[in-house]
Amino acid sequence: MQPRVDFISLGVRSVPASRAFYVDGLGWPVHKEVPGDVVFIQVNHGLVLSLWDAGQMQAEAGVSAPGPVPSITLSHNLGSTEEVDQVMAEAAAAGAAVVAEPVTQPWGGYSGYFADPDGFRWEVAYNPTWAVDDAGTVTV
């Protein structure tokens, strides 16, 4: 199997509330949607974030509802500490709950965390040893 991720689907309590946060608040463009059921947002080359009604997602995947805080972290990596601060401020202005202010981390980078309306944690980070070349290859 080829190592690849094409979709990241988040099971959300309210598709309209999540749409309001990501699309209206953060300004991310909708690629396609079925109102009230699912919103698809292209977030990178070939990568789509879907905001899917949690009940429908759980029924299709055959899983129970998760606990109060979903067990996943999504990361948004940037090129400087200033960019981290800017994105954290934009997320807070869009309605995110800042759960960890950005600080210099023991691993040498700088990061903070915010939670979207469903509690999904987003790490906003600058890692001075992490780079992505024009071909999309990650070097550490």
Contact 53, 12 (CB under 8 A): yes
Q: Mean pLDDT in the chain?
A: 88
pLDDT of residue 62: 78
Q: How far is CA 63 from CA 21, 55, 110, in A?
A: 26, 10, 35
Residue 71 has pLDDT above 70, yes or no: no
Query: Strands of 73-78's sheet, edge to edge?
Result: 73-78, 121-126, 110-115, 97-104
pLDDT in tens, 92-113: 999 999 999 999 998 899 999 9
pLDDT, tens digit (0-9, with 9 covering 90-100), for 23-35: 999 999 999 999 9
Q: Which residue has the higher pLDDT, 61 or 48?
A: 48
> What would the two tokens of residue 71 be?
């067990």
Continuous segment of H or E residues that includes residue 17: helix 15-19
